[in-house]
Structure 1
């Protein structure tokens, strides 16, 4: 993937036996990569890329506004949207950048580029007001927190933003760092690189008018490599782990080959053998070991989001797949060889401050908790429902 391609409309043709495959570039973006655009105004940026590529089939363009709000706000929005759909782009409305990883049309997809041009939390006061800066920072932080889970391996997050005060006070690089992202480069932005793109104010009587984009740069972020000390800090702290209260996530995946379907589930159990939380969800058809890997990832993320993660409570994760656990252990710390899912598990383990241990319980699924997690996995497979549920706290943590 190139992150600094300056050839607008550049075509790179490679001859096969019976066909010519043409790749088209617009600044950073290639027609061969999956692109998610966040916070579109009148969708002119999305249309600029789709027109240059000759197709929008690799583009998912989203807006926070509803369709009705857009066409009533921006005079060219309806026409731009019509052209985008004709070119094969996917258009989604009412997508919140703070919660987009849970959107039903996005949660199973991965992208090479995720692009957010000129993020803004709304107009509630002067831009140099500390409360306004905090609102903007909260938006960008939550965007990073969601976007990283929708990236492919070696994918990039692009944020175009002004670099002079008060906008420089947002401190994008620090917000990214807090989400296990690192700044690769910062490239001057020039709207002329994107013919047809018209930036919009999005506020008051001049809502459909452009704003001054000078002194703007595109910040390019990637997932930060893990610390070389992560492996020892999470897998070799037996003494520390024994001194802490701990909980256990039992995870299970079910695959029905004749139905070409799969499901996974997890049950969180405390030291008193009480069920504290559970999750379940359907999966595309896949091998059971990969499904177990996804169940482990879901368990880690659910624990990370919980109060337990911040209360010195250690975590055990029991899976039925020794293969999935071996994948995590053998690839841990080597980002060049990690698949997307292993990389996301790696990132979660790097953020969790408490000891985490992984166990294989193959052939030992006995007792009420193991029967429960199996039933939940089957339920997810049969009903195609997804759920995360916490049980009221009764363990004193």
Structure 2
């Protein structure tokens, strides 16, 4: 058998395995939800009474997580969202992370012990990582998403989700809170795209094919695959609308795809928890009851600015001059014209 056929066969086996895992997760969730005692089948009247009112398509959006998507969850609290994706929606390739250490999570969220047991008792267990900074995601080797014998271009997460990001109560000043959370989101986006520094951007641009300039370098593995999505969920109303999440995403080079109202009922078993931890006695505040919105952004090829174009020309050894020249060339021409003007005046 040829090498290409062997790789194809391995990919098919891996896909079959993912389907079996998803089916197992669904079966487990269904078994836990099925009552043990036998009951009489409902009558026709009971069926009609129990049927919900029809919902308009525009009012309800599909869950944006596929069964076979490779999903990375960032900033989990008690990991109940991860549990819902795995057990209810049969997502077979979920990795979940928290900013807090494991001991901090156990202290802040009493429900975590049972959730942790549910996720780690699955076959295979759901990977859980603690002490993960959302602004440095791509620096963690244990979070690289590889797909075995699949083509290298396919490496990288399909979806990275940050559900209700927040820096916590750093300040009572609204403006400071807004700026802190905007900085959190920008650095999170950049880390997903691996563009946290100018050097990183240039490295990506150098391996990214350009019009008339096919890259001579081998495509690098990606943290988030090209066309992959970043999902952010935020509460509606101020101060969250002041974060301008769409503009932040556009600024770092993401494409704004769509947004819709977050429906907590689509995630059975999920419970919103505070960054500071569970309030003793429960408290009157429930995040699931508040209006919230889901925002979807897509990774697209980077667009180089004028300085980056110059650097890319140097790296590729090209001597082609762009119309108008680069910034340095324009500055040089401007200085020359200024000197000529001074000479004529004298």
Same fold (TM over 0.5): yes
Give CA-to-partner distance per residue, 1:43-102, whole Å, 9 cap, x none. 000000110244x64011000111111111111101111111122211100000011110
1:111-126 correspondence runs (5 A): 111-126=157-172
Identify which of 274, 287, 293 aligns with 1:212.
287
Structure with the largest fraction of strand: 1
1:137-216 correspondence runs (5 A): 137-149=182-194, 150-203=223-276, 206=279, 211-213=286-288, 214-216=290-292
Report the Cα distance in structure 1 between the residues aligned to 2:107 and 2:306, rounded to whole angstroms: 56
Change (3 A) 1:29 1:20: closer
Give CA-to-partner distance per residue, 1:368-393, whole Å, 9 cap, x none. xxxxxxxxxxxxxxxxxxxxxxxxxx
Shift of 1:162: 1.6
1:1-80 correspondence runs (5 A): 21=19, 27-54=63-90, 57-80=92-115
State the secondary structure of the residue aligned to 1:30.
coil
Q: Which runs of 5+ in 2 are unaligned?
A: 1-15, 27-61, 147-155, 195-222, 319-325, 329-346
Contact 1:182 1:222 in 2 (8 A): yes
TM-score (norm 1): 0.51
Asked which structure has the greater RCO (Cα within 8 Å, sep 6+), the reply is 2
Contact 1:48 1:194 in 2 (8 A): yes
TM-score (norm 2): 0.58
- May I ask how many residue pairs the two structures share in their alignment? 226
Contact 2:236 2:293 in 1 (8 A): yes
Report the Cα distance in structure 2 between the residues aligned to 1:99 and 1:234, rounded to whole angstroms: 24
Change (3 A) 1:354 1:60: farther
Shift of 1:132: 1.1
State the secondary structure of the residue aligned to 2:135.
coil
Q: Which runs of 5+ in 1 are unaligned?
A: 1-17, 236-240, 242-312, 320-324, 326-352, 356-397
Change (3 A) 1:28 1:354: farther
